[in-house]
Amino acid sequence: MRTLIFIVGGFVLLAACLGVAKLLSNGLADAMRTATIAFVALWFVIAAVNMWIGVAKAGYSVAEELPIFLLIFALPAVAAVLLKWKVL
């Protein structure tokens, strides 16, 4: 359940980043590109901290946490890149 919450949180953060970029862009062409890059970097840090908590506090090994980290990070990050590439 925690994994699903983090993935949904990633999509919410993506929507927030793109929404803020759209509001503040004022016709700047690079605003969406910058927002996508900022989201991916921020989301990587959040997912990495989640992995570290799983290893340091919950007692999981890195090998157990790595697939979960990849899932949590990749789904929203790939969606962000695809949205920027195809839609925005």
pTM reported for the whole predicted model: 0.90
Mean pLDDT of the chain: 93
The tokens for 51 are 């992995």
Give the model's pLDDT for residue 30: 84
Residue 29 pLDDT level (bands cut at 50, 70, 90): low
Give the model's pLDDT for residue 25: 83
Report H helices in 2-61: 2-24, 31-56
